[in-house]
Amino acid sequence: MLTFITQKKSSNKLTLQLLIASVLTLGLAACNDNDNVVEEVVVVPVTPVMEYSYSITLTNLTYAQPLSPVAVALHGDTKMWQVGQSASVALEKLAEGGDNADFIALTSNMATTSSEGAVPPGASVTLDITTTEPMATYLTVATMLVNTNDAFSGLTGVDISTLMLNQEKSWRLNVYDAGTELNNEAVGTIPGPADGGVGYDATRNDIDLVGYHSGVVSKDDGLSSSVLTQAHRFDNPAVKLTITRTK
C-alpha cells in the first residue's frame, strides 16, 4: 500500500471540516426527505475568465530510443500512475504500443495536447497548452520508449499552481516499466523500428505493478532471444522536460 503524505495539517483540517459539513448536509437532506439542496450552493461572483498557458519542451536524451507521440495533460489533483499500483489500460496502451489516444481521452483530463509524431533520439519537441479551468493545475506528461516492451517516461500529478508568469521549471526524468508485458525483448513484441512488432496486447504477463525499468538487456549483452542490440540500451535519465508559464 502506497502512502503519500503531502497534505499539510491545515488542509487536513479543512478536509475534515468539509467532510463534516457534507455529512451534515446529507443528514439534513435525508431527514427532510428533500432532494433540493440548491440553497447550499455557494454563489461564486462572476469574474473575467482567466486563461493559463504553458509551453512544454521535451528532449529525448537517449541514444536509440525514439519516443512515441508525447501526451500532455492538465488536470486536478490526481496521479495517472504510481509505483506499486497496476497500470490503467490507457497507460498500458501508451507504454506497450505508443498509442496515447485513450490516455489523452481520460475523463479526468481538463486540457490535453500531443506531439504530432515520435521524438527521435537527440531531438526536442515544444508543445503549447492552454486552459481556462482554474482547477487544471496538475501536469502529466507521458511517452513510450518505443524500442522496448513497455517502458515509458514522464511525470504525473505535478503541482504547477505556483508557477509565476514566465517562470520555468525543469526535470530530468527516469524510465518506468508499466509492468504489463514481460521484458522478453522478443521478435514481434516491440513496436519500434528495432522490431516493428505488436504494440498493445491486453494480456498482462508481468508483475502488473508500475515500477522503475531495469533497462534492456539486448542480444549483445546476454539475452540471445532479444531483437534489440547494444544500441537500444538506455540509462536514467532518459528525458529532459521543461515547462514555462506563458500566460
Cell 504530432 sits at which residue?
Answer: 116
Q: Is 147 in the site for another protein (CB under 8 A)?
A: no
Beta-carbon contacts of residue 121 (< 8 Å; ≥ 6 apart): 60, 62, 63, 64, 65, 66
Nearer to another protein, 3 or 36 (CB): 3
Phi, psi of 227 (to 5 degrees): -90, -10
Nearer to another protein, 72 or 175 (CB): 175
Q: Is 130 in the site for another protein (CB under 8 A)?
A: no
Nearer to another protein, 5 or 164 (CB): 5
CA gap 94, 20 in Å, rounded: 40
The distance of closest approach from Cβ of residue 45 to another protein in the complex, given in angstroms and rounded to an integer, is 33
Identify the bridge partners of residue 140 per DSSP, sorted by sequence position.
73
CA gap 162, 52 in Å, rounded: 12
Q: Of 47-86, which residues contact another protein (CB under 8 A)?
A: 83-84
CA gap 175, 189 in Å, rounded: 19
Q: Pull the grid cell for residue 110.
A: 481538463
Nearer to another protein, 110 or 186 (CB): 186
Nearer to another protein, 125 or 155 (CB): 155
Of 1-9, 72-80, 119-127, 153-161, which segment contacts another protein by CB under 8 A? 1-9
Of 30-38, 54-62, 69-77, 179-187, which segment contacts another protein by CB under 8 A? 179-187
Kindly tell me which residue out of 177, 180, 189, 243 binds another protein, with binding defined by CB under 8 A. Answer: 177
Q: Is 104 in the site for another protein (CB under 8 A)?
A: no
The distance of closest approach from Cβ of residue 151 to another protein in the complex, given in angstroms and rounded to an integer, is 11
CA gap 242, 120 in Å, rounded: 17
- Kindly state the number of chain residues that form the binding site for another protein, as judged by CB under 8 A: 35
CA gap 32, 146 in Å, rounded: 58
The distance of closest approach from Cβ of residue 223 to another protein in the complex, given in angstroms and rounded to an integer, is 5
Nearest-10 Cα torsion for 26, 31, 32, 34? 40
Please report the sign of the dihedral spanned by the C-alpha atoms of residue 209, residue 82, residue 149, residue 226. negative
The distance of closest approach from Cβ of residue 207 to another protein in the complex, given in angstroms and rounded to an integer, is 5
CA gap 104, 165 in Å, rounded: 26
Q: For binding to another protein (CB under 8 A), which residues are involved?
A: 1-6, 8-9, 83-84, 174-175, 177, 179, 182-185, 206-207, 209-215, 217, 221-225, 235-236
